[in-house]
Amino acid sequence: MPSLVSAASLGLLAFASHVAAHPSTASAAGSAPAGHEFQAPGAGDVRSPCPGLNSLANHGFLPRSGKGMTLPIIIAGLQEGMNVGVDFATSVGGLALLSSPGLAPTSFNLNYLDQHNFPIEHDASLSREDAYFGNDYSFNQTIFNQVLSFYDGMTEATIPVASKARYARVQNSAKVDPNDIYGLRQLVLSYGETALYLSTMGSPITGVAPLSYVKSLFEKEELPYALGWTKPTVETTLVTLGAMVAQLQAANPDAVPEGLSLGEGTLRDVYELRNPLTGVLENATCILANNC
């Protein structure tokens, strides 16, 4: 039966070209790429208040120790692990370097990012307690359940619902935390973080992300390969994040300071330590003192 034989060889050919197009580092469906399997942190390893960085370290896209994060390591890890672009990695990575002790540091450890309000950590997180209550860095299910309650009955996270969930956390902190600080910087960072989970667990364009993936990122700090996730084919950049932040803001009547329009420029300013209203470079001291 010649036709069957040729159909079979065509199939083989198709398979061979598929293998060729996917080099050995690619993951089989449903599993992490070789060498990037999930492994919980061991004794002596350190982690951060960021579910994204923690997940990347748990998969070895960043050093599993959580230590010695240089800009080249961050740039490569974010790109390879989640298809997050060099523009974001450079500006936020540069900001994170400020958490390191000493002058002109060239690396940081993930736990340095625990410092409250400097350079990034802030109140009203989606999955961590406010610093006032003692631990602003470990995942907290009770806090995250406030976010999840907005997704009740849904299988996918979306921009409008994520926006409402984010704002509810802001309102909750204002109510329960006598030391709550939520200013311009915190507002912009917080919007950026919601855009990050929708982009990397779903799509940087639509912001639609399966809820099971989002839960894996936050609750287990595990990239959800086992659930079918692969890193998005579209890169997450400051441009895509800015566009999503603008949509998140449009979906919610958050009081944004007069003169501030959320989007790529605002994100970039805050990540690069400029005042998004004046464009003037902030100095680290004023951020540390919480008055800029």
* Amino acid (one-letter) located at 254: D
Minimum distance between the CB of residue 166 and Mg ion, rounded to whole angstroms? 13
* Amino acid (one-letter) located at 84: V
Which CB, 190 or 240, lies closer to Mg ion? 190
* Cα 8 to Cα 202: distance, rounded to the nearest angstrom: 36
* Sole window of 38-46, 74-82, 244-252, 263-271 interacting with ligand HEM (rule: CB under 6 A): 74-82
Binding residue count for ligand HEM, defined by CB under 6 A: 26
Q: Which of 52, 207, 242, 263 binds ligand HEM (CB under 6 A)?
A: 52
96 part of the interface to ligand HEM, by CB under 6 A: yes
- Whether omega before 63 lies within 30 degrees of 0, making that bond cis, reads no
- Decide if 248 contacts 194 (C-beta within 8 A): yes
* Of residues 180, 159, 187, the one with CA closest to residue 276: 187
Which CB, 216 or 263, lies closer to ligand HEM? 216
* Of residues 51, 57, 84, the one with CA closest to residue 69: 57
* Cα 274 to Cα 292: distance, rounded to the nearest angstrom: 10
**Residue ranges in contact with Mg ion by CB under 5 A:** 121, 125, 128, 136
Select the binding partner of residue 267 from ligand HEM, Mg ion, none (C-beta < 5 to 8 A, by kind). Answer: none
Minimum distance between the CB of residue 291 and ligand HEM, rounded to whole angstroms? 19
- What lies within 8 Å, CB to CB, of 259 at 6+ separation is 277
Select the binding partner of residue 222 from ligand HEM, Mg ion, none (C-beta < 5 to 8 A, by kind). Answer: none
Select the binding partner of residue 249 from Mg ion, ligand HEM, none (C-beta < 5 to 8 A, by kind). Answer: none
| Nearest residue to ligand HEM on Cβ basis | 52
Minimum distance between the CB of residue 6 and ligand HEM, rounded to whole angstroms? 47
* Cα 266 to Cα 248: distance, rounded to the nearest angstrom: 14
Which CB, 6 or 141, lies closer to ligand HEM? 141
Which one-letter DSSP state was computed for residue 245?
Answer: H
Q: Which of 32, 36, 51, 167 binds ligand HEM (CB under 6 A)?
A: 51
89 part of the interface to ligand HEM, by CB under 6 A: yes
C-alpha distances in Å from residue 210, one per residue of 91, 197, 199, 203: 28, 11, 11, 10
- Decide if 165 contacts 151 (C-beta within 8 A): yes
What does residue 84 show for φ and ψ, rounded to 5 degrees? -100, 135
262 part of the interface to ligand HEM, by CB under 6 A: no
249 part of the interface to ligand HEM, by CB under 6 A: no
Q: Which of 32, 36, 47, 50 binds ligand HEM (CB under 6 A)?
A: 50
- Residues 112-131, mask of contacts with ligand HEM (x by CB under 6 A): -x------xxx--xxxx---
* Cα 185 to Cα 207: distance, rounded to the nearest angstrom: 23
What is the sign, positive or negative, of the torsion defined by CA atoms of 264, 267, 270, 275?
Answer: positive
Q: Hey, what are 199's tokens?
A: 């982009």
Minimum distance between the CB of residue 285 and ligand HEM, rounded to whole angstroms? 19
245 part of the interface to ligand HEM, by CB under 6 A: no
Contacts with ligand HEM, residue ranges (CB under 6 A): 48-53, 74, 78, 82, 84, 89, 92-93, 96, 113, 120-122, 125-128, 193, 196-197, 200
